[in-house]
Amino acid sequence: MIDDVTVPVALGKRSYDIIVGENLIARSSSFFAPFLRHPRVIIVTDTNVASLYVHMLEASFDAGGIAHKTIILPAGESTKDFANFQMLAESILAAGIERGTTLVALGGGVIGDIVGFAAAVLLRGLDFIQIPTTLLSQVDSSVGGKTGINTAHGKNLIGAFHQPRLVLCDIQALKTLPERELQAGYAEVLKYGLIDDTAFFEWLQENGLSLCRGDMLAQQYAVVTSCKAKAAIVAEDEKEIGRRALLNFGHTFAHALEAEAGYSDILLHGEAVAIGTVMAFDLSARLGHCPSDAVSVVREHLRQVGLPVSTVDRPGVKWSVEALLGHMGKDKKVTDGTITFVLARSIGEAFLSSDVAHEILVGVLEDGGAL
């Protein structure tokens, strides 16, 4: 059994720990106890995760004397909308909650985002705890307090910053993750190496395939390293006024791609990030910021672990440059009508820039990340 590792997120009175280990769901009540104002929680999960881990979590709460109610939402990105949020909010309120009630997000990024948003707004603020069950949510979305839902205008455009009280990353949960989901999460792991940690990128070149094939020690190392990187950035820039925007590397393209794909299973978030990452490096190279061979190295690494690297890899969508530009114009990083991009000078050095010629951007979108 691998040892638990604790990663602190230093935010003053809102500080919390990320615990990365094995069989944490089965041991959850012992971790929860110090953070519950009342021994009662509302568990929110989805149809995929419920059959795998709800009974294990409920058994732990029963053993620890923690009362609980479980709400199960449909699985998938389409759940992050107004209709499902209203249904969730009404269900939580119908359970007779108080301000001392804690919400528990058991699932991937979709569940963490929508439950976190519910915690931010119900009764003007409830505590919540994250138990992310996907690689993507363990290394990214469960940490940092970003919560929200999607609209027809774009991804995560309605939400709030609301930090969890605790994050439990159970590496054991990754064993039941479909290969495609594990690969999708890997795109967010790779991001940390690309923006400011060349040594981590080099480690991923050696160990990325093992990670995606289920090596638990490699998975724990990647989750811990990613969480440490994100915790440091969030502690410095909680509300994304400056440096935290670097964590959006590839995401301006990715969110547009997801929107154009209709937030469907045709293109998972991590897959969109993979394509967006290649596009970001391609744009950087065309602007003269980084060498073109960096684009090739990143593209080949993503392809090696089984991720799509261009829109050509998803022929089921009729990709439109005009539509993608429209989605990008609604990005949260737009200021005075100008998009701020996260670009690269090299692998391991990212920076922010709004100085991007329109015709060069159009060229990147036309090629879609392809050679």
Q: Judge if 90 and 12 occupy the same domain.
A: yes
Q: Judge if 147 and 268 occupy the same domain.
A: no
Q: What is the CATH number of the domain that holds 22?
A: 3.40.50.1970
Does the pLDDT of residue 370 top 80, yes or no? Answer: no
Residue 269 annotated among the catalytic residues of the structure:
yes
Catalytic residue among 248, 260, 299, 332: 248
Q: Judge if 219 and 167 occupy the same domain.
A: no
Catalytic residue among 230, 299, 332, 333: 230
pLDDT, tens only, 252-307: 999 999 999 998 899 999 999 999 999 999 999 999 999 999 999 999 999 999 99
Q: Judge if 109 and 235 occupy the same domain.
A: no
Residue 37 annotated among the catalytic residues of the structure:
no
Which of 176, 200, 222 is the last residue before a domain boundary? 176
Q: What is the average pLDDT value for the chain, to the nearest integer?
A: 95
pLDDT at residue 216 in the model: 96
Helix axes 179-196, 292-304, angle to 10 degrees: 150
pLDDT, tens only, 29-49: 999 999 999 999 999 999 999
Q: Judge if 248 and 284 occupy the same domain.
A: yes
Does the pLDDT of residue 95 top 70, yes or no? Answer: yes
Residue 327 annotated among the catalytic residues of the structure:
no
Catalytic residue among 124, 322, 358, 359: 124
Domain coverage including residue 265 = 179-367
Residue 188 annotated among the catalytic residues of the structure:
yes
Q: Judge if 51 and 161 occupy the same domain.
A: yes
pLDDT, tens only, 163-216: 999 999 999 999 999 999 999 999 999 999 999 999 999 999 999 999 999 999
Q: Judge if 190 and 272 occupy the same domain.
A: yes
Catalytic residue among 80, 251, 286, 332: 251
Catalytic residue among 40, 68, 80, 146: 146
Does the pLDDT of residue 333 top 90, yes or no? Answer: no
Catalytic residue among 22, 238, 240, 258: 240
Q: Judge if 227 and 342 occupy the same domain.
A: yes
Which of 147, 176, 205 is the last residue before a domain boundary? 176
Residue 358 annotated among the catalytic residues of the structure:
no
Q: Decide: helix, strand or coil at residue 7.
A: strand
Q: Judge if 152 and 188 occupy the same domain.
A: no
pLDDT at residue 332 in the model: 75
Catalytic residue among 162, 244, 286, 332: 244
pLDDT at residue 60 in the model: 98
Average pLDDT over residues 76-100: 96
Torsion angles phi and psi, residue 146, rounded to 5: -80, 125
Q: Judge if 24 and 80 occupy the same domain.
A: yes
Q: How confident is the model at residue 371 (pLDDT cuts 50, 70, 90)?
A: low
- The owner of tokens 């915790």 is 231
Q: Judge if 164 and 224 occupy the same domain.
A: no
Residue 48 annotated among the catalytic residues of the structure:
no
Catalytic residue among 269, 299, 301, 333: 269
| pLDDT > 70 fraction of the chain, expressed in percent and rounded | 99
Give the number of domains in the chain.
2
Q: What is the CATH number of the domain that holds 249?
A: 1.20.1090.10
Q: Judge if 118 and 243 occupy the same domain.
A: no
Which of 151, 176, 201 is the last residue before a domain boundary? 176
Q: Are 277 and 302 in contact (CB under 8 A)?
A: yes
Residue 244 annotated among the catalytic residues of the structure:
yes
